[in-house]
Amino acid sequence: MTEHVSPEKLTAKDFASDQEVRWCPGCGDYAILKCLQRTLPELGTRPENTVFVSGIGCSSRFPYYMATYGFHTIHGRAPSVATGLKLANPDLDIWVVTGDGDGLSIGGNHMLHTLRRNVDLNILLFNNEIYGLTKGQYSPTSHLGTRSPSSPFGSIERPVSPCSFALGSGARFVARTIDTDQKHMPTVFKRAKEHKGASFVEIFQNCIVFNDAVFGEFTNREAAADLQLHAVHGEPLLFGKEREKGLTLNRDKLALEVITVGQGGKTIDDVLVHDETNPILAQMLVNMAPPDFPVVLGVLFCQPAESFETSVTKQIAAIIKKKPGASLDRLMRQGRTWEVKA
């Protein structure tokens, strides 16, 4: 089907499987699916070279809806399956689709190690701060006090911040976007795909059934300008309706502060310029939260290094070069052998 079509001619349809999509009507997953199906052909992706690997949860149904290769694995283990797949065939373009429960609870360990190893995978973590598929229990990203079937009096666990976790794990690409932002999402996917190494993308995804509008405070249209900050490498960190507000570093407190340009003697020069190669800045940015701060979106950290499978392949190639023509027969006959004569 796809084999004789040149990349330019592929469309979203070439990436959509014939399977009926079974998420709840109004689920944020639809928007992400549509966006990827639309974006992948624009990036020159070939379906036969693309694999979607997922774990368990609502988001993990994703591979079934893509007309690419796909593997719906077991709970939390998608990064490990994807690592083995990448080692077997480093030419594949592999996307891992996971959620807050799948990726940070049961699969937290694999996420940590996959990021630190820097396996060339595009990891999309759909964060809806709830367990959807099992009917609404609080998750490791749920904010304190979340009422759910398993926390009827409010959750009493402090949540983990996915991007902060990724940075702490040594991820070399960390980005954030919102399911409903069809303009922003593709730019993040593009950067994630281009990045060689593990790309970690947190997507704020609305679970309309069990946790509706949990991100509403900063995702609704009216609040967006004042509570979303789109970070762009090399540009000042500005936000607000007139882009009048900016972030500055309070050097005494070693903390970020919001200032208004033109007020209190502050000028544009006081506003921090985004440097996506600075991990300390990234860590400060991801921890900002309303109401005092905006939520930061975009590519927050990007500092490429050799990817894991590249190092593995290189090391093997170097050893093969040093010891060419390996023979098991010869290996087994090395060392202390003796002959028994007839």
Partner 1 sequence: MNEMSPKGAQKHLDFEKLESVVIRFAGDSGDGMQLTGSQFTSSTALAGSDLATFPDFPAEIRAPVGTTFGVSAFQINFGSTRILTAGDDPDVLVAMNPAALMVSLGYLREGGLVVVDTGAFSKRNLQKAGYEDNPLEDDTLAKFQVIELDISSMTLEAVKEFGLSKKDALRSKNMWTLGLMLWMFGRERKPIIEWLKSKFAKKPEIANANIAALNAGHAFGETSEMSSGIKRYQIGPAKTEPGLYRTVTGSETMAWGLVAGAKLADLKLVFGSYPITPASPILHLLSNLKEFGVITFQAEDEIAAICSAIGASFGGALGVTSSSGPGIALKTEAIGLAITTELPLVIINSQRGGPSTGLPTKTEQSDLYQAVYGRNGEAPLPVLSTCSPGDCFFVAIEAVRLAVKYMTPVMLLTDGYIANAAEPWKLPEIDKIKPFPASFAKEKTGDGDFNPFQRDPATLARIWAKPGTPGLEHRIGGLEKSFETGHISYDDDNHQKMTEVRAAKIQGIENDIPEQKVALGNGKGELAVVGWGSTFGPIDQAVSRMRAKGFDVSHIHIRYLNPFPKNLEKLLKGYKKVMVPEMNMGQLSTLLKDRFLLEVIPLNKVSGQPFKIRDIMSAIQKNLKGRSS
- For residue 77, state whether it binds partner 1 (rule: CB under 8 A): yes
Give yes or no for residue 11 binding partner 1 (CB under 8 A): no
Q: Which does 17 bind (CB under 5 to 8 A by kind): partner 1, ligand SF4, none?
A: partner 1
Kindly tell me which of 76 and 132 has the beta carbon lying closer to ligand SF4: 132
| In the complex, minimum distance from the CB of residue 22 to ligand SF4, in angstroms, rounded to a whole number | 8
CA distance 127 to 214: 11
Diameter of the chain measured on Cα atoms? 100
**Gap between the Cα atoms of 288 and 301, Å rounded:** 15
Residue 164's binding partner, choosing from ligand SF4, partner 1, none, with beta-carbon cut-off 5 to 8 A by kind? none
Tell me how far, at minimum, the Cβ of 35 lies from partner 1, in Å: 20
Give the residue with the Cβ less far from partner 1, 56 or 247.
56
254 is a site residue for partner 1 (CB under 8 A): no
Structure tokens at 34: 């549509």
CB of 57 closer than 8 Å to CB of 107:
no
Provide the edge-to-edge strand list for the sheet that holds 238-239.
238-239, 245-250, 255-260
254 or 332: whose CB is closer to partner 1? 332
CB of 304 to partner 1, least distance (A): 22
Picking from 42, 108, 39, the residue whose alpha carbon sits closest to that of residue 79 is: 108
CB of 302 to ligand SF4, least distance (A): 29
Element (H, E) at 200: strand 199-204
Closest CA to 87 of 305, 307, 309, 306: 309
Taking the C-alpha atoms of residue 3 and residue 42, their distance in angstroms, rounded to an integer, is: 17
Indicate whether 73 belongs to the interface with partner 1 (CB under 8 A). yes
Going by DSSP bridges, is the β-strand pair 122-127/137-138 parallel, antiparallel, or unpaired? Answer: unpaired
Residue from 12, 16, 34, 113 in contact with partner 1 (CB under 8 A): 113
Determine if 59 is a binding residue for partner 1 (CB under 8 A): no
251 binds partner 1 per the rule CB under 8 A:
no
Number of other CB atoms surrounding residue 276 within 10 Å: 22
> Which partner from the list ligand SF4, partner 1, none does 51 bind, CB cut-off 5 to 8 Å by kind?
partner 1
Q: How far apart are CA 306 and CA 309, in angstroms?
A: 9
Please pick, from the candidates 39, 45, 83, 180, the single residue that binds partner 1 as defined by CB under 8 A. Answer: 83
Shortest separation between residue 54's beta carbon and partner 1, angstroms = 8
**What does 208 bind: partner 1, ligand SF4, none (CB cut-off 5 to 8 Å by kind)?**
ligand SF4
Closer to partner 1 by Cβ: residue 34 or 113? 113
Provide the pairing of β-strand 50-54 with 295-302.
unpaired
Q: Which residues bind ligand SF4 (CB under 6 A)?
A: 23-24, 27, 29, 58, 128, 132, 207-210
Burial 11-40 (b: 16+ CB within 10 A, else e): ebebbbeeeeeebeeebbbebbbebbbbbb
74 binds partner 1 per the rule CB under 8 A: yes
208 vs 232, which CB is nearer to ligand SF4?
208
Residues within window 282-321 making contact with partner 1, judged by CB under 8 A: 312, 315-316, 319-320
Q: Work out whether the CA dihedral 225, 227, 233, 236 comes out positive or negative.
A: positive
Separation between Cα atoms, residue 169 and residue 86, nearest integer Å? 20
Residues of this chain that bind partner 1 (CB under 8 A): 1-3, 17-19, 46-49, 51-53, 56, 63-64, 66-74, 77, 79-89, 91-92, 109-110, 112-113, 312, 315-316, 319-320, 322-324, 326, 328-329, 331-333, 335-342
